[in-house]
Amino acid sequence: TDTVDFDRIRADFPVLREEVRGNPLVYLDNAASSQMPSVVADRMDQYHRREHANVHRGIHHLSQKATDAYEATRTKAQRLINAEHEHEVIYTTGTTDGINLVAHSFCEEFLSDGDEIILSEIEHHANIVPWQIAAEKHGAAIRVIPVDDSGELIWQQYLELLSERTAIVAIGHVSNALGTVHPVKQIVEEAHKHDIPVLVDGAQAVPHGSVDVQELDVDFYAFSSHKMCGPTGFGILYGKEKYLDAMPPYRSGGDMIDKVSFDGTTYNKLPYKFEAGTPPIVAGIGLGAAIDYLTGIGMEHIARREQELLEYATSRLLSIEGLRIIGTSEHKASVISFVFDDIHATDIGTILDQQGIAVRTGHHCAQPAMRRFDIPGTARASLSFYNNEEDIDRLTEGVKRAKDFF
Ligand code: PMP
């Protein structure tokens, strides 16, 4: 905040000047999908109007231009997360797709009967269901690290779950439901003592601060473009070369092959082995523009501003009688899930919407997390660096009004 003018940054997002139901929009659903700055939309528009062609195929000018622009995103993503090699950056259609790739392909090679997969109790369904399917297929079992009342992992239980049966640990970096930031570096350190690889679901972490996959020493790391000012339909899976090399292809077809004959087919080298068919080219180019935009502001500035907003929002909301925040760890990202004992979250969300305030309500694709806290769902305000104190004041007033209404 010292060197970045976050007020000016709001002007980069045309949607923030929209009115909703007669009120200026207050957008607090950033954990579901962030908004897009004009530079990203313009870059994609330019591609659509003037640069569209297929990638990796043509020798003609336009195809080469599209390929260069599309591949430039790989270098940008590599730098963003500090991957050692560019070919360790696999293009996907999102976090869900990245986790499915690993759950399918890693498990095909490395999971056997009697093995175990360790997850946490507050994972997004995208980091639960693919593992359940893989476990069922290969005769493995899912083991779950519980969380305490603040939403933090119970560390001792994690240590006790690790064993020679563990094939992989898959854990969120930041919980989308509660905001808890898990101690990924320590989680990886403990797993690696037993030579167990760790996949991290980084969907809620990459947009909100600096992530260094080498420093964390994670083996896989997945995230989504649409939560970091980019378009939908694109994402990144980072994987260590040693695992990606050993894993069989996930989807197959054009581009992922080396030689094809009816006697047998050989596969392309990394990263293309995992990238079959014509990809969402414009979305990949859009993510590149989004990474430039975010790093132009500086991930450390973004993280600091969001912590400031989180503190402000937490204290404002807690001033409302009867409001209870679910997820009270000191290690939190800018997500605030809250409930009232006697008002349904959906009703809060509806009243807020009538005032032009967008929050998410429900189980946030984390039903086990809701079960842990014995609630059907929460209202969730998730903040981004382009929100401001006025947004939070509007939210606070809005929640008070909802409370008075019921
Ligand atoms: N994991 C977490 C923690 C998420 O918040 C989300 C998105 N809500 C996902 C995974 C899934 O991401 P996507 O829908 O972009 O594949």
Per-residue pLDDT tens over the stretch 102-136: 999 999 999 999 999 999 999 999 999 999 999 99
pLDDT above 80 for 1: no
What digits encode the pLDDT tens for the residues 182-234?
999 999 999 999 999 999 999 999 999 999 999 999 999 999 999 999 999 99
What digits encode the pLDDT tens for the residues 253-297?
999 999 999 999 999 999 999 999 999 999 999 999 999 999 999
Q: Tell me, yes or no, if 365 is annotated catalytic.
A: yes
Q: Is the Cβ atom of 360 under 6 angstroms away from ligand 1?
A: no
Q: Where in the chain is the domain with CATH 3.40.640.10?
A: 42-295
ipTM: 0.99
Q: Is the Cβ atom of 356 under 6 angstroms away from ligand 1?
A: no
Catalytic residue among 117, 216, 282, 365: 365
Write down the CATH number for the domain with range 42-295: 3.40.640.10
The residue whose CA is least distant from atom 14 of ligand 1 is 96
Helices 61-81 and 281-297: crossing angle in degrees, nearest 10, is: 40
pLDDT band at residue 2 under the 50/70/90 scheme: low
Q: Where in the chain is the domain with CATH 3.90.1150.10?
A: 6-30+298-405
| Identity of the residue numbered 223 | F
> Residue 84 has what DSSP assignment?
S
| Identity of the residue numbered 315 | S
- Strand order from edge to edge, sheet including 89-92: 89-92, 235-239, 220-224, 198-201, 166-172, 116-120, 141-145
Query: Stretch 73-94: mean pLDDT, rounded?
Result: 98
142 alpha carbon to ligand 1 midpoint, in Å?
20
110: tokens are 């490395």
Residue 225 CA: nearest ligand 1 atom is 15
Phi, psi (deg, nearest 5) at residue 355: -100, 10
Q: How far apart (Å, rounded) are the C-alpha atoms in residues 355 and 244?
A: 48
Phi, psi (deg, nearest 5) at residue 248: -75, 160
Task: Round the average pLDDT of the chain to a whole number and report it.
Answer: 97
What digits encode the pLDDT tens for the residues 326-353?
999 999 999 999 999 999 999 999 999 9
Q: How far apart (Å, rounded) are the C-alpha atoms in residues 26 and 24?
A: 6
What digits encode the pLDDT tens for the residues 27-63?
999 999 999 999 999 999 999 999 999 998 778 999 9
Nearest Cα neighbor of 215 from 236, 239, 189 is 189
Q: How far apart (Å, rounded) are the C-alpha atoms in residues 161 and 145?
A: 8
> What percent of the chain is predicted at pLDDT more than 70?
100
- Cβ partners under 8 Å of residue 145, min gap 6: 118, 119, 120, 121, 153, 154, 157, 158, 161, 171
Is CATH 3.90.1150.10 correct for 6-30+298-405?
yes
Q: How far apart (Å, rounded) are the C-alpha atoms in residues 343 and 108?
A: 46
